[in-house]
Amino acid sequence: MISNDQNSRGKVGQQIALAGLAIYVATAPHSVAASVIGVAIAGVGWMIRSFSTGDLGLRRSKFDVIIVLALLWTVFSALLSEEPRISIAKLQASWCVFLFYLARATVTRSSALALTVLLIVSGSVGALSSGFDLLRGRGVVVESIAPASPLRQVGVQPGDTIWQINRHRVYSTSDVDRLLAETPLNTSVSVGIISQGEQVERSFMLTQPATSGVIGNLRNHRFRASGWTRHYQTFAELMQMIALLALGLALANLRNHGPNKYFRVAIVAAGLLTAGLVFTAMRTVIVAFVIGASVIALRSLRGMMKIVFTFALFFVLAFGAVVVWQTRDPSALLLGDSSSSLRMQVAQVGLSRILIHPIFGHGMDAMQKHWTEWGFPGKDMLHLHSTPLQLAFDRGLPMLALWLWLMIAFWLSIARAETVAADLSDTHRYGILLGILGALTGFLASSLVNYNYGDAEVAMMFWFLMGTALSTD
């Protein structure tokens, strides 16, 4: 029997857990470090509650066996890797699954709504910051570069934009020169470059004192928005999932109550988040968003509203096409750019090598050491740009089968729960489940041509949303 003191400690633990998750959702669209701190605090709260009450707060689910099998297969794959040291070190990334169980154990139906709203607000702030960043401009556009410039070692050419030195943003050539001067000799210098809309980071060794040798006064206003995250791809994936969450809440209110104030607020937030996504110029994620939005619209809207929503999605695609055309290589819209060509070549090499190690794969991140040796082209990609393909390459075909089994099980389970919630007219729960179903659909569509599960921030968001969906069931 639980005493009053144990019950009080349990309540305190639950409050700490929810406070930690609030920190997580508030920082997830912006900072992986801060979001990890939030998860750690939530984990401590969960432990306090569990020790105080003697109950983890978890029920067995049909997903547990699949997840355990996948984790075990990942361990075996790492041990049998082409590069065991690299792959075993990579096992630490599996901790993201913890968020699934943490959310299942601690998130309640009422707290799910509060956390979802906080996530949407935080994501909207990130979208607004991207708009400000585009207006302000980024980096310094290179008009000319001296033959002896150390930046030639990383391929900087006239027309490129230098926007970071050692992860510090720069806005003038004097900023670049100052950061180079502050770098100790015989250490590596990382340079963030924007070239034809593509954002890359390259490094060189600074062996002697040098200035940049760059002339340029203009800032770049045609770049791929990334909010406060490290990369536009991470930002795009997060914006997509959060936008679909907001859209789910909006359409749930529209279906059950008409265009009330909650619908209006949620649809404005969804529009703002969609704009943040579009400004990343991520073709595949924009299309994935439209697929996810179409699924939840078909499941929630009726009659004329379906036609109106279809026109809205066509506008998103057209807006995205304009942004891609203005930001990236002119041939990017027709997939004729170098990035698309490189992806196809990498995928072909990856497919040809899967059957060399079909059971346990080559090992996580082993390809980074053998990229050129194994016949992969280029030097900036270092992964296969597809979650299913990467899983099969790294961990074998059985791991791919487990992944597909888990994704199908998640989708069907959330779809059933969403249908029940709609029938009960439980608007908030219905909206959350509808939005998560859309986010899962968009995530899976994007995963076909992006290794989004390999991005820690995106993987954390995925597992949090899956856990939240089950906690509301």
Q: How confident is the model at residue 201 (pLDDT cuts 50, 70, 90)?
A: confident
Q: Among 150, 201, 143, which Cα is nearest to 177's?
A: 150
For residue 18, which phi and psi values (nearest 5 degrees)?
Answer: -70, -35
The whole-angstrom separation of Cα 144 and Cα 36 is: 42
The letter for the amino acid at 66 is I
What are 224-281's pLDDT values in tens digits? 888 888 789 999 999 999 999 999 999 999 999 999 999 999 999 999 999 999 999 9
> What's the average model confidence in pLDDT over 318-326?
92
**3-class secondary structure, 164:** strand
Q: Among 126, 107, 125, which Cα is nearest to 20's?
A: 107
pLDDT > 90: percent of the chain: 73
> What's the average model confidence in pLDDT over 281-302?
95
Query: From residue 326, how far is each of 107, 143, 281, 321, 331 by CA, in Å?
Result: 43, 20, 9, 9, 11
Contact by Cβ (8 Å): 245, 120? yes
What are 77-107's pLDDT values in tens digits? 999 999 999 999 999 999 999 999 999 999 9
Query: From residue 1, how far is each of 54, 56, 106 by CA, in Å?
Result: 10, 16, 21
The whole-angstrom separation of Cα 367 and Cα 394 is: 8
The whole-angstrom separation of Cα 64 and Cα 88 is: 23
2 pLDDT more than 60: no
The distance in angstroms from the start CA to the end CA of the chain is 28
DSSP helix, strand, coil percent of the chain (3-state; round to 5): 65, 5, 25
423 pLDDT more than 90: no
What are 210-226's pLDDT values in tens digits? 888 899 999 998 888 88
For residue 215, which phi and psi values (nearest 5 degrees)?
Answer: -115, 130
Which tokens sit at 215?
Answer: 């002339």
457 pLDDT more than 70: yes
Residues 6 or more apart in contact with residue 56 via CB below 8 angstroms = 46, 50, 105
- Residue 409 burial (CB < 10 Å; 0-12/13-18/19+)? middle
Residues 6 or more apart in contact with residue 1 via CB below 8 angstroms = none
Residues 6 or more apart in contact with residue 68 via CB below 8 angstroms = none
pLDDT for 330: 76
Q: pLDDT averaged over the chain?
A: 92
Residues 6 or more apart in contact with residue 171 via CB below 8 angstroms = 137, 138, 139, 140, 219
10 pLDDT more than 60: yes
Radius of gyration of the chain (CA): 23
What are 132-167's pLDDT values in tens digits? 999 999 899 999 999 889 999 998 999 999 999 998
5 pLDDT more than 70: no
pLDDT for 360: 96
Residues 6 or more apart in contact with residue 259 via CB below 8 angstroms = none
Q: Which residue has the higher pLDDT, 333 or 410?
A: 410
1 pLDDT more than 50: no
**Does the CA dihedral 287-288-293-299 come out positive or negative?**
positive
The whole-angstrom separation of Cα 66 and Cα 472 is: 21
pLDDT for 427: 93
pLDDT for 284: 94
Contact by Cβ (8 Å): 46, 17? yes
pLDDT > 70: percent of the chain: 98
| pTM, rounded to two decimals | 0.91
The letter for the amino acid at 109 is R
Lowest-pLDDT range of 17-21, 64-68, 196-200: 196-200
The whole-angstrom separation of Cα 438 and Cα 301 is: 14
382 pLDDT more than 80: no
> What's the average model confidence in pLDDT over 38-43?
97
The whole-angstrom separation of Cα 99 and Cα 443 is: 17
Contact by Cβ (8 Å): 400, 350? no
pLDDT for 6: 62
Which tokens sit at 422?
Answer: 């709609």
Concatenated DSSP letters of 95-147: GGHHHHHHHHHH--HHHHHHHHHHHHHHHHHHHHHHHHHHHH-BSEE-SEE-T
